[in-house]
Amino acid sequence: MKASLPLCLLVAALHPTICSLPQPRHHNGEHKVTYPQEQRPHGEDPGGSYHRIVPSNADFAFRFYRQATTEAPSRNVFFSPVSISVGFALLALGSRSATQTQVLEGLAFNLTEIREEEIHNGFRHLLLALNRPDSQTQLSMGSALFMDKHLKPLKKFLKDSKKLYKAKVISSNFQNSTEAESEINDYIKNKTHGKVNQTVEDLDPDILMVLVNYIYFKAYWENPFNIKGTHKDYFYVNEKTSVEVEMMSRDGFYKSYSDRKLSCEVVQIPYKGDVAALFILPNKGKMKRLEDALTKDTVSKWEKSLERRRIEVYIPKLSLYGTYDLKKMFRNLGVTDVFSDHADLSGIIGESDLKVSKAAHKALLNIHENGTEAAGSTYAEFIPHSVPPVVKFNRPFLLLVVDQYTQSILFMGKIINPTEK
């Protein structure tokens, strides 16, 4: 029997908090979220290699979304596709033969069009770009390998995991499970600024290694909602059920688009910096139709069609929490060997008797007004004396949080019930 490797992909997404951060550096004017098909020449953009993997990362995001909604069709959905992709790409770095092929194809890579080396190099540049210090958002992502002190990882794996994924390797005493659990939980708690606690529990005595990936996001709206505009209102979960929510409201100028073909309204609400939230509200009874058409090309079309106009937007305050059994979901995507005795993870320790016993993903999202004290530092909008069109997110809707600098989907969600615990 192979020794087991638990894989924990952990996310804390914190939206938004007032903080003082450096001013962003703008490149070629305004950033627009699109999904480029071509690769930029490396001479023009040293980080251009990440453009080779962004489309596949987007494809994976929508594949995973469909798995999540199929598994729990009446529940909220929230996850970080880029975090999951980074964690499993790191796992692929230590995989060999069919195990590696399955993992990379499960992440939506076409291995006849892109080489393994290009994938890992793409993730290297993507992580550098996402962890950039010149953004007004706080976005940090990283990985850590907690390895049993008796294991001797290959020097090449240590070198490559550090160079490509900034992964930290930590020697742990898994014979003392309480000590190991505390060490891992403290590490995650520190990296997620205290927002994710008690992640690892009841470690199996056969454990040899724990792989952790985390992402921490903190930002505030470019134009905050005024807390005085927040009021009690109803959110219609379905035709028979409604729940009371704290509904934020704001009359202002937003980029929006009415997609008549898919019967939905799209509103882009920017954070300070290079990140924007895309709220998608389908007409009543049209959610399934919207979900069936949800691809990177659809999102690209929305982004290209957005026009700045005055609207009155209503969005519920909410806290979302998503937790997923990735082992089950990746098996449904055709990734099976890495979880079985057929696993070949010999790229990590030089031996093949290692498999992944558990893979989990957790995500947290908070959306609120963003603090009225920030309103004074934003530019003034002069609103004409007329009644603007209203877009009210008072029924199930979709949410994408996109890093416009790298054109990556950081978080994705479906809000069916804002009060769901």
**Least confident range of 250-254, 256-260, 347-351, 391-395:** 347-351
Spell out the CATH class of 3-219+320-366. Answer: alpha beta
How does residue 191 score in pLDDT terms, banded at 50, 70 and 90?
Answer: confident
The DSSP letter of residue 252 is E
More confident position, 379 or 254: 254
Mean pLDDT throughout 125-144?
85
Nearest Cα residue to 254 out of 265, 266, 269, 264: 269
How far is the C-alpha of 345 from the C-alpha of 330, rounded, in Å? 17
Question: How much of the chain, in percent, has pLDDT values that exceed 90?
Answer: 54
Judged against a pLDDT cut of 90, whether residue 298 lies above it is answered with yes
Judged against a pLDDT cut of 80, whether residue 77 lies above it is answered with yes
User: Which alpha helices (DSSP H) does 10-96 contain, by range?
Assistant: 54-71, 81-93
Judged against a pLDDT cut of 70, whether residue 348 lies above it is answered with yes
Average pLDDT, rounded, for the chain: 84
Instruction: Give residue 354's pLDDT.
Output: 83
Structure-token pair, residue 246? 């704290």
Superfamily name and number for 227-314+383-415 = Alpha-1-antitrypsin, domain 1 (2.30.39.10)
Angstrom distances, CA of residue 50 to CA of 57, 93, 141: 10, 17, 15
Instruction: Give residue 25's pLDDT.
Output: 37
CB 36 within 8 A of CB 388: no
Mean pLDDT throughout 214-218?
84
Amino acid at 63: R
Residue limits of CATH 2.30.39.10 in the chain: 227-314+383-415
How far is the C-alpha of 144 from the C-alpha of 158, rounded, in Å? 11
User: Which alpha helices (DSSP H) does 281-386 contain, by range?
Assistant: 287-292, 296-305, 326-332, 346-349
CB 127 within 8 A of CB 165: yes
Q: What is the pTM of this model?
A: 0.87
Judged against a pLDDT cut of 50, whether residue 375 lies above it is answered with no
How does residue 178 score in pLDDT terms, banded at 50, 70 and 90?
Answer: confident
CB 373 within 8 A of CB 20: no
How does residue 351 score in pLDDT terms, banded at 50, 70 and 90?
Answer: confident
Judged against a pLDDT cut of 50, whether residue 1 lies above it is answered with yes
Helix axes of 81-93 and 54-71: crossing angle, nearest 10 degrees:
110
Instruction: Give residue 55's pLDDT.
Output: 96
More confident position, 246 or 320: 246
Cα 413 → chain centroid: 9
Mean pLDDT throughout 397-417?
95
**Least confident range of 37-51, 98-112, 158-172, 218-232:** 37-51
Residue limits of CATH 3.30.497.10 in the chain: 3-219+320-366
CB 361 within 8 A of CB 324: yes
Mean pLDDT throughout 67-74?
92
330: left (phi over 0), alpha (psi -120 to 50) or beta: alpha
How does residue 346 score in pLDDT terms, banded at 50, 70 and 90?
Answer: very high
CB 143 within 8 A of CB 87: yes
Judged against a pLDDT cut of 80, whether residue 321 lies above it is answered with yes
How far is the C-alpha of 79 from the C-alpha of 289, rounded, in Å? 21
Top-ranked range on mean pLDDT: pick from 9-13, 258-262, 273-277: 258-262
